[in-house]
Structure 1
Amino acid sequence: MANEHTENIRALFLNHPDTQDLFASLDYMLKDGVHFQREGSQAKYYNYIYSNEDSLRAYYQYLFNVELTFGGTEVSGYYFLDFIGSTRGQIDASHRHHMKSEHVIIGFIIYKIFFIDNQIDVVSVKDLQKKIRIDYEGLKPGIYRLIAKSRNTNPGNLNDDAIDATVESTLREFKKIGWVTLNDDEFDLLPAFDRLIAIHEDLINNLDETLNELR
């Protein structure tokens, strides 16, 4: 009976009235690393997951050995696919999101600006680019090294334009996976941005030391 009950749970989401319209695209995005919260066009997917949470969790664990996980708080929560233990699951490698080192470091700097230095007045991409160039000038050598390694070039060939381009590409990557909103020059952090903190907890807990290594 227990196995039959589990099998029934795994299939329950198929009976939901929105499954035909939403599940296929939701499935692709979840496997691509997107985090879903009550935000704009994501809200319909969030509500769909919320309504079918137990069924979808059983489905992804059984077929792909990954965990459908809820993060954040009840008010500012989000859903995403997480790996179970050390396994990478049964999701094809082409769907696994690998973040570049320079994007992670820019994410750390954004975290410091907003959550440690409380500079919440930074609301545009240009503001963020300028602040990183000027207020965090001492970190440039390390950022250049990361960018150069990614581009297979010499750090000496890079300048402030590379910093600006990397900040913009970081925000675009974060937008893809549901960590920020990005509309032209305006951006905002979403609740799922705290996944950066969760994934890199040790480095965040020693953030000054982490950033000092860039100098």
Structure 2
Amino acid sequence: PLKGIALSFGGRSVRGEAVITRDGLEGGAVYALSAELREAVLASGGATLHVALRPDLNPCDLITRLSSPRGKQTFTNWLRKAAQLSPVAIGLLQEAAFASGVALASMSPETVAAGINAVPVRLTGVASIARAISSAGGVAFDELDGEFMLRRLPGIFAAGEMLDWEAPTGGYLLQACFATGAAAGKGALKWLDK
């Protein structure tokens, strides 16, 4: 897990958490940017997401911490203590440095500090529908009346993930499904009373 991070893409930045998996990144912060990321990946074959591992730490303070002597500590242990990074965050930072062709330990404190709050992660695909937690697409809102009934199919109502929305997962998604379901149910009762 990556906790207390900020993800940035296409001029938007989102705070939250993410989890590094065998297949990539997932989590609330990623899902909040999923529409933009998916469109970029589908349009050009990839997208670069930037991860700020310590977004609340002032850049000057981070440089000061990274300028402290390492002593006999391994670089990874020193980085964990100096920048207060988790082993997973350090691994992500190491992978980004490796991909750029430079060893993280050889970088200046200023370069490491800048990297900590702008780790580039290249996305090259989206998860399959079999793996989906939530999916995009569905009935467009302009196809519904104010009661969630399909304009072209009177008596047919839509709610929840039947709707075309980019919904956050977890409790928010459930609440939105319940709320639109209740609204569609009320709409159906009104329609039946006509």
TM-score by length of 1: 0.24
Q: Which has the larger radius of gyration?
A: 2
- Richer in helix (by share): 1
- Richer in strand (by share): 2
